[in-house]
Amino acid sequence: MKVRPRLQPWAGFTLPLLCLAIYLLPAFSLPLSRGEAMYAQVPSEMLSAGRWILPTLNGAPYLEKPPLLYWVNLLAFKVFGVSDWAARLPTLAVTMAEVWLTFRLGCLLLPPVAAWLGGFILLSSVGFFYLHLQIFTDHLVTLSLLSALFAMLLWLKEPRGRWVCLFHLSLGAGYLSKGIIGLGFPLVIGGLYGWYIGQPRLRRLFFHPGGLALLALIIVPWFAATERAYPGFIWHHFIDEHLIRFLGRRQPGGVSMISMPLFWLFLAVWLVPWTILLPEALYRYVKEVTFNKAGKAGSLLLIWPAVVLGVFTLSSTRIEYYSLPALPALALVLGWRVDRYLASPRDLSLPLALLALGLLGLGTAWFVPFLGQLCAGDRREFLGLFSLLTPVARQVSLVLPTLAFLGALLGRRRPRLALAGYAIISLALLCFTYQALTALSPVRSDKAPGEYVRHHARPGDLVVMEYIEEFELGASLAFYARRPILMVQRHGLPRFVYPVTPEKNYLISSDRLKKLWQGSRRVFLLVDEAVPFEPFYKDAPIALVGGGKRLLINQP
């Protein structure tokens, strides 16, 4: 067995720098999609109103999410002005911090080279790249989880007050990011870990009086201020947004939810191209942890993803990116396995994985439409999206097998060459992912019609969205139009999950739309070309066409 190379102390900083180099251009060039734009629209409205505590979306109270992401985006807007690239700045910073903390936490459990490889595998995975080009609260949940577990491991080595503060500060940040799971994940994972390694003294960290006081200081003022402004918020937060949502009984039901098999399929997609190595890496790692008492501390990397994936598997509420907090742990297990491979010249696992990757790459043009059919069966918003990826899928089906087979051939006796080939493939797939997102952006975003409205609408003109299932998905149009919008409610959707006063209610009936359309005010109407048009606006003047949508105007 070869002697493993040492890692220089400064090597960990290469990971966030590499992350910045890869992610910067895509993050600033892609428009805000319908699914993420509310995280820019809400802080934009908070900034305009001068209110940091009471979030609104399109002028109505928005009580679905805790405020931390709104606050950091609001700060970015205050410094750099309101824009889509400014909204993405905090997410880019969080991404770099996630990669760096993954490495630092990995160094406490694994050899430094394995930790570095885990950080690289994380940032070069297709799913991590794709998800971090969008604004989600789950990024803050992942970062706070990493920070809490990092503080926990350091406290076990040296029980000092600063690690108590970091741990409970991380718990508070997690709660203000996404509620109970942001707080619960570190506690459950840490509790199971302490029990398994025989460290009951972790209770002293979890229930430290000073730490609990800090945690209360972070969370309680927000609860008090929001409940005072919106009586009944605390009930809505704990019962509707946590218990009833977990049981899948919240009304209206989540139209964005996916099935359990699709949730696990997306987990495999998120780790591409490293997914092929994962089953064997987990098998070897479990044996290492189980039969090597000295390596028992490494069980954290198994308990961690098991808790995250187990919760969302059991929950009736799941979205494809909810597995995101588990990715750093799985990436570190993969880094451990690749490090072992580099130390064993006769190990053929990576060349064989390259061969398998090449064979799978040949079927990319078939797999993309298949995934599209699965997704469209769960969510209407996926309809027609994957057909736009056919040109990119054809390129992947040519480039990926070529690189994979060449890497397998040249790296058969040279482990580092095989790893270099695998890394080149991962970076090439990130380029293809960016290309795919660019192709999809006119469909996923309302930037073009929103900017058209902003430049052509007069004071008093109305902007209306037709055929939309969730009111949050209107935020992209509202953000780029820089004005409130109305939404047509059909078959009970979209629908608020909490009471909204009549003056704040922006959901209108089709009859109300008809009256507005035939009235004296000018109306801009964004409609989906995939659904039938109403007779009264079927022949209306078209202001803009693109992305499967039309922007209509009732009068010049």
Confidence band for 235, pLDDT divided at 50, 70 and 90: confident
Q: Are residues 72 and 99 in the same domain?
A: yes
Is the pLDDT reported for residue 385 higher than 80? no
Q: What confidence score (pLDDT) does residue 319 get? A: 86
Confidence band for 243, pLDDT divided at 50, 70 and 90: low
> What residues contact residue 286 under an 8 Å CB cut-off, 6+ apart?
302
289 within domain boundaries: yes
Q: Are residues 152 and 268 in the same domain?
A: yes
- Domain closes at, from 405, 440, 475: 440
**Lookup: tokens for 212:** 């609990």
Q: How many CB atoms lie within 10 A of CB 343?
A: 16
**Lookup: tokens for 78:** 């205050």
Q: Are residues 325 and 415 in the same domain?
A: no
Cα–Cα dist 422/212, whole Å: 45
Q: Are residues 366 and 269 in the same domain?
A: no
Query: Which of these, 213, 204, 229, 209, lies nearest to 46 by C-alpha position?
Result: 229
How many angstroms separate the Cα of 541 from the Cα of each of 487, 513, 553?
A: 20, 16, 6
Confidence band for 246, pLDDT divided at 50, 70 and 90: low
Cα–Cα dist 372/383, whole Å: 8
pLDDT in tens, 457-478: 999 999 999 988 889 999 999 9
311 within domain boundaries: yes
192 within domain boundaries: yes
Residue type for position 194: G
Query: Which of these, 378, 512, 383, lies nearest to 440 by C-alpha position?
Result: 383
pTM score of the predicted model: 0.93
> What residues contact residue 473 under an 8 Å CB cut-off, 6+ apart?
34, 35, 381, 494
Is the pLDDT reported for residue 58 higher than 90? yes
Q: What confidence score (pLDDT) does residue 234 get? A: 81
Higher pLDDT, 459 or 237: 459
1 within domain boundaries: no
388 within domain boundaries: yes
Q: Are residues 75 and 120 in the same domain?
A: yes
Q: What confidence score (pLDDT) does residue 437 get? A: 92
**Lookup: tokens for 187:** 């506690």
pLDDT in tens, 268-289: 999 999 999 999 999 999 988 8
Q: What confidence score (pLDDT) does residue 79 get? A: 96
Is the pLDDT reported for residue 337 higher than 90? yes
Q: Are residues 129 and 239 in the same domain?
A: yes
Quick one: 44 exposed, middle or buried, by C-beta within 10 A (0-12, 13-18, 19+)? buried
Cα–Cα dist 330/268, whole Å: 11
Q: Are residues 375 and 309 in the same domain?
A: no
**Number of domains present in the structure of the chain:** 3
CA triplet 180, 184, 188: central angle to 5 degrees? Answer: 160
pLDDT in tens, 293-330: 656 888 999 999 999 999 999 887 788 899 999 999 99
Is the pLDDT reported for residue 3 higher than 50? no
pLDDT in tens, 192-224: 999 999 988 999 999 999 999 999 999 999 999
Segment (H or E) for 46? helix 38-49
**Lookup: tokens for 406:** 């060449």
Q: Are residues 133 and 169 in the same domain?
A: yes
Is the pLDDT reported for residue 381 higher than 80? no
Helix (H, G, I), strand (E, B) or coil at 544: strand
Q: What confidence score (pLDDT) does residue 2 get? A: 47
Q: Range with the lowest mean pLDDT among 31-35, 166-170, 223-227, 254-258?
A: 254-258
Q: What confidence score (pLDDT) does residue 322 get? A: 92
Cα–Cα dist 151/92, whole Å: 23
5 within domain boundaries: no
Q: Are residues 331 and 395 in the same domain?
A: no
pLDDT in tens, 90-126: 999 999 999 999 999 999 999 999 999 999 999 999 9
Strands 462-465 and 60-61 turn out to be unpaired
Q: What confidence score (pLDDT) does residue 247 get? A: 63
Q: What confidence score (pLDDT) does residue 497 get? A: 78
Task: Quote the percentage of the chain above a pLDDT of 90.
Answer: 67
Phi, psi of 549 (to 5 degrees): -130, 155
Q: Are residues 508 and 362 in the same domain?
A: no
Q: Which residue has the tokens 């051939």?
A: 409
Cα–Cα dist 84/454, whole Å: 15
Cα–Cα dist 240/230, whole Å: 15
Domain extent at residue 375 = 344-440
pLDDT in tens, 142-177: 999 999 999 999 999 999 999 999 999 999 999 999
Strands 523-528 and 549-553 turn out to be antiparallel
Q: Are residues 339 and 349 in the same domain?
A: no
pLDDT in tens, 484-516: 999 999 988 898 877 888 999 999 999 999 999
Q: What confidence score (pLDDT) does residue 1 get? A: 43
> What residues contact residue 184 under an 8 Å CB cut-off, 6+ apart?
none
Percent of residues in the chain assigned helix, strand, coil, to nearest 5: 65, 5, 25
2 within domain boundaries: no
Q: Are residues 479 and 545 in the same domain?
A: yes
Q: What confidence score (pLDDT) does residue 245 get? A: 65
How many angstroms separate the Cα of 224 from the Cα of each of 66, 227, 243, 477?
A: 13, 5, 21, 32
Is residue 141 within 8 Å of residue 442, measured between CB atoms? no
- Domain closes at, from 419, 440, 461: 440
- Domain closes at, from 302, 327, 343: 343
Query: Which of these, 241, 245, 238, lies nearest to 223 by C-alpha position?
Result: 238
Q: Provide the CA 433 distance to its chain's centre, in angstroms.
A: 15
Task: Quote the percentage of the chain above a pLDDT of 70.
Answer: 90
* Across 389-397, average pLDDT: 83
Q: What confidence score (pLDDT) does residue 531 get? A: 84
* Across 28-42, average pLDDT: 95
16 within domain boundaries: yes
What's the whole-number average pLDDT of the chain? 89
